[in-house]
């Protein structure tokens, strides 16, 4: 039956429409015969797109001569209640119309009957090609000419250029999409029931998502195996001698000891080296000056856009792609209507159309004529990427972010501004620095290295003005772009002013953030840029990983499922195997391999692993009892690790005589530790009722025993806050409803929240009581968490952008009496007054 229902496949050669893809944004309007035809009485030209937003933008540009209809995504898919793939007959796919799309298809068919021409204008990628193919199969009985157009930018010029040179559906892209759909359906449809049987109902597995979970789990294993090692560095503060005017001092780091790299593995070695160095005399050795270029970044690809937005704005990949989709499909501008602001946002190419590059150079000639290179910059694509689309760029470079401020929502503007700035900078000259490196030679063979650089020519940095960058927390952090050294000449004697040994410890590899996991997926060839957002969203929705403080942690469920799949399906869970499958899908699109070959080569070994797992090769966690070295706190019997609906837990091995169970945690050595009991007298801070221990998807916590009347919760075990965050003795009232506020901890640290949450969602930063030193500001300093740790900024940001480059200490200034001073370094007594009017002041903002 499956073969009879299977959809027929078109095999005629494609006219790929690449000319339309590379057409100029300023291309001429369609030929006269096409324009006049649409204005006659024989009907309008019907254009079928994917989204309603895109349809509105096209309608505004094209006018009443065209009728634009949105399919709202895929109109056909595999059946939800069965596999839909004939495994016995060349893996034929059984597509059927989605129930919720029958009305839309009926409307499209009705409009197509009276249309003069029909253009299939779904997105210019594999999924869009499949949508066009399925709509064409539904309109085939009308015997009307169907043409495929690719809109790479929704501007008047881009739209007219695409319509003037239509092509046909590309069957190779359709085959590639079918292959991906078949592989994903086979894995998901066969593995999910197995996980229901062996772990718990409701779980699912994915061909690519499961490998992404493995990356997170493998990184967690690396962190647990990591052994921290101590090491020390020594920095010295030097000053040239024999000058008429005393030059400024500068710092240098110990670089060589008797010609070798220093090895200071402990405090004794550091003290010995420090004592030796203090008795040395120093002079300037080699001084090298060289020009160094800092090149602008290439135009944005999908992956780079997602990474940058995660680092700069803390946007998830899903949110970034939603914003980019809206910018591409059209944003309503006052007095204009829907306008496509960027080119197509799913691309892994850095290529830029010559016309676009020239428009950027024309804009730059009026504003930065000295920062335009003689030749248009050329950026090389990575090996093996698809070059069907340009890089992501603005459709009109003269539409600056400043001109859109207040006209589009802030988050949308942030994404547009980054795309616009990156593109314009990519067409500018590199920044030029004069870099100086000096070796400072000691009389006993110790050599320090000092370096500095000075900006000679700003190049592309001129576009930014004040050079700033955005840390991973989203806070602004000034980039130290210049570090100067005083004039130094070889043989010049130096005075050693201070020597500072510093203890360090090696760090384990960091857990993945959104940006770093996307970068890892891209580097290893797992998935494609257009799928990264879906991958990251899916693995969190399935409760396989969770994000804490911006980093991915595998859940107990994720680690358990990952271990089962790695043991039973080594090929499927192999990073290299998954990357190879992506390469084979690309080969299908290029016509080098066939759909049936790729799916067949995958299914044959996979089906053997599946049979082996079903016959007992995969462990059944529902019945598994793993011994531990933890004793039952009630009867003393050994406890075993068991798996339940909410993850693993400890249970007494003497069951059913002893029914004791406990939640547990694992430290870096994997030792199982029974959770602490709630201290006697632990009361709800809101209603004073007893608190009870609960376990949720994010671990254990305390909840009020009067739930749901009182919904107060507290983290458990208690999480200590960094010492630099002062916790006030008395908490203020809620600024919204005046109810008591409680301490809460979120992704950016501790904050105050209304005790009536969720009825009242009032929040405010943790107060410090320390006033902002800017005259007339009236704000106070609040703790914030940045890429380099805790820092302090004004509570009135962005009206006041004051930043404190140190830790405030409640020690009044002895000069002016200012209520606190700031510690600039690790020295306890290195305190300065932040007040601008104080003679002891040091610029902190």
What positions carry a catalytic annotation? 344
Quick one: which of 159, 108, 162, 160 has its CA closest to 136?
108
Strands 230-240 vs 493-505: parallel, antiparallel or unpaired: antiparallel
Tokens (6 digits) for 529: 């840029």
Measure the CA–CA gap between 41 and 30, rounded to whole angstroms. 19
> Is the N-terminal amide bond of 708 cis, ω within 30° of 0?
yes
CA 38, chain centre distance (Å): 46
Quick one: which of 163, 222, 716 has its CA closest to 512?
222
- Bridge partner residues of 230 (DSSP): 505
Q: What is the DSSP string of 288-308?
A: EEEEEEEPPPPPBPHHHHHHH
Residue 337, classed as helix, strand or coil, is: strand
Rounded to the nearest 10 degrees, the angle between the axes of helix 532-541 and helix 514-524 is: 120
Measure the CA–CA gap between 308 and 311, rounded to whole angstroms. 5
Burial profile 815-829: b = 16 or more Cβ within 10 angstroms, e = fewer: eeebebbbbeeeeee
Tokens (6 digits) for 206: 């994915």
Which residues fall within 8 angstroms of residue 285, CB to CB, at 6 or more apart? 438, 439, 440, 441, 447, 490
Only one residue has tokens 């799309």, namely 101
Measure the CA–CA gap between 281 and 24, rounded to whole angstroms. 68
Q: Cα torsion for 361, 366, 371, 372, to the nearest 10°?
A: 30
Q: What radius of gyration, in Å, describes the C-alpha atoms of the chain?
A: 32
Which residues fall within 8 angstroms of residue 707, CB to CB, at 6 or more apart? none
Beta strands in 36-125 (DSSP E): 45-49, 66-70, 76-77, 85-86, 92-93, 96-97, 117-120
> Helices (DSSP H) in 22-149: which residue ranges?
32-38, 52-62, 102-113, 126-139
Q: What is the DSSP string of 396-412?
A: -TTS-HHHHBTTB-HHH
Measure the CA–CA gap between 207 and 193, rounded to whole angstroms. 15
Residue 153, classed as helix, strand or coil, is: coil
Measure the CA–CA gap between 682 and 392, rounded to whole angstroms. 56
């Amino acid at each position: 039956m499956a073969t009879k229902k299977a959809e027929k496949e078109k095999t005629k050669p494609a006219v790929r429409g690449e000319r339309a893809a590379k057409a100029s944004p300023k291309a001429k309007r369609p030929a006269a015969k096409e324009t006049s035809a649409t204005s006659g009485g024989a009907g309008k030209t019907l254009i079928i797109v994917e989204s309603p937003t895109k349809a509105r933008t096209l309608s505004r540009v094209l006018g009443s001569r065209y009728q634009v209809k949105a399919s709202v995504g895929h109109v056909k898919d595999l059946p939800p209640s069965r596999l839909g793939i004939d495994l016995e007959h060349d893996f034929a796919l059984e597509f059927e119309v989605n129930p919720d799309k029958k009305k839309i298809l009926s409307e499209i068919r009705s409009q197509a009957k009276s249309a003069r021409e029909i253009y299939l204008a779904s997105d210019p990628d594999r999924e869009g090609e499949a949508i066009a193919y399925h709509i064409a199969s539904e309109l085939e009985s009308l015997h009307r000419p169907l043409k495929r157009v690719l809109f790479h930018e929704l501007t008047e010029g881009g739209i007219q250029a695409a319509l003037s040179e239509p092509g046909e559906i590309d069957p190779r892209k359709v085959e590639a999409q079918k292959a991906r759909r078949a592989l994903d359906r086979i894995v998901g449809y066969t593995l999910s029931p197995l996980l229901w049987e062996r772990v718990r109902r409701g779980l699912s597995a994915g061909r690519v998502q499961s490998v992404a979970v493995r990356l997170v789990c493998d990184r967690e294993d690396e962190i647990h195996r990591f052994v921290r090692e101590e090491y020390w560095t020594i920095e010295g503060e030097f000053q040239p001698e024999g000058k008429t005017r005393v030059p400024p001092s500068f710092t240098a780091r110990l670089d060589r000891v008797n010609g070798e790299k220093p090895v200071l593995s402990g405090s004794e070695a550091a003290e010995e080296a420090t004592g030796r160095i203090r008795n040395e005399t120093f002079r300037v050795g080699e001084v090298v000056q060289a020009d160094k270029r800092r090149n602008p970044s290439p135009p944005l690809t999908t992956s780079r856009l997602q990474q940058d937005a995660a680092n700069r704005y803390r946007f998830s990949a899903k949110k970034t792609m939603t914003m980019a989709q809206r910018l591409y499909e059209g944003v309503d501008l006052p007095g204009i209507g829907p306008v496509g602001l960027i080119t197509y946002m799913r691309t892994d190419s850095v290529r830029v159309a010559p016309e676009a590059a020239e428009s950027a150079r024309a804009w730059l000639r009026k504003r930065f004529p000295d920062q335009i290179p003689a030749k248009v910059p050329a950026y090389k694509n990575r090996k093996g990427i698809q070059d069907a689309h340009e890089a992501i760029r603005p459709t009109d470079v003269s539409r600056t972010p400043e001109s859109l401020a207040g006209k589009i929502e802030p988050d949308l503007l942030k994404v547009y501004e980054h795309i616009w700035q990156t593109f314009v900078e990519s067409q500018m000259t590199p920044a030029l620095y004069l870099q100086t490196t000096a070796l400072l030679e000691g009389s006993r063979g110790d050599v320090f290295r000092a370096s500095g650089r000075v900006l000679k020519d700003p190049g592309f940095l001129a576009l930014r003005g004040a050079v700033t960058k955005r840390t991973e927390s989203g806070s602004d952090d000034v980039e130290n772009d210049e570090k100067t050294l005083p004039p130094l000449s070889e043989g010049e004697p130096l005075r050693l002013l201070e020597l500072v040994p510093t203890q360090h410890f090696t760090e384990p590899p960091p857990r993945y953030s959104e940006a770093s996991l996307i970068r890892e997926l891209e580097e290893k060839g797992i998935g494609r840029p257009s799928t990264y957002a879906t991958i990251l969203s899916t693995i969190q929705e399935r409760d396989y990983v969770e994000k804490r403080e911006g980093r991915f942690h595998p859940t107990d469920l994720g680690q358990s499922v990952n271990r089962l799949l790695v043991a039973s399906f080594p090929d499927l869970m192999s990073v290299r195997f998954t990357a190879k499958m992506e390469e084979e899908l690309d080969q299908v699109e290029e016509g080098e391999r066939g759909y049936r070959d790729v799916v067949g080569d995958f299914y044959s070994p996979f089906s053997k692993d599946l049979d082996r797992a079903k016959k007992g090769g995969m462990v059944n966690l529902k019945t598994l009892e793993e011994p531990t070295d933890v004793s039952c706190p009630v009867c003393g019997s050994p406890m075993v690790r068991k798996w339940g609906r909410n993850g693993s837990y400890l249970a007494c091995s003497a069951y059913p005589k002893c029914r004791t169970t406990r939640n547990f945690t694992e430290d870096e050595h994997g030792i199982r530790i029974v959770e602490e009991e709630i201290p006697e007298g632990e009361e709800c801070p809101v209603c004073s009722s007893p608190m009870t221990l609960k376990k949720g998807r994010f671990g254990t916590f305390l909840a009020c025993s009067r739930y749901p009347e009182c919904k107060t919760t507290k983290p458990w075990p208690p999480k200590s806050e960094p010492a630099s965050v002062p916790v006030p003795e008395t908490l203020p009232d809620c600024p919204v409803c005046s109810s008591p506020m409680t301490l809460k901890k979120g992704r950016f640290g501790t904050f105050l929240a209304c005790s009536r949450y969720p009825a009242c969602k009032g929040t405010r930063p943790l107060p410090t009581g320390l006033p902002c030193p800017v005259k007339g500001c009236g704000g106070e300093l609040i703790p914030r968490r940045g890429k380099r740790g805790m820092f302090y900024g004004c509570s009135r940001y962005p009206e006041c952008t004051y930043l404190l480059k140190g830790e405030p200490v409640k020690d009044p200034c002895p000069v002016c009496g200012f209520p606190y001073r700031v510690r600039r370094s690790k020295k306890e007594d290195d305190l300065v007054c932040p007040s601008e009017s104080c003679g002891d002041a040091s610029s902190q903002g």
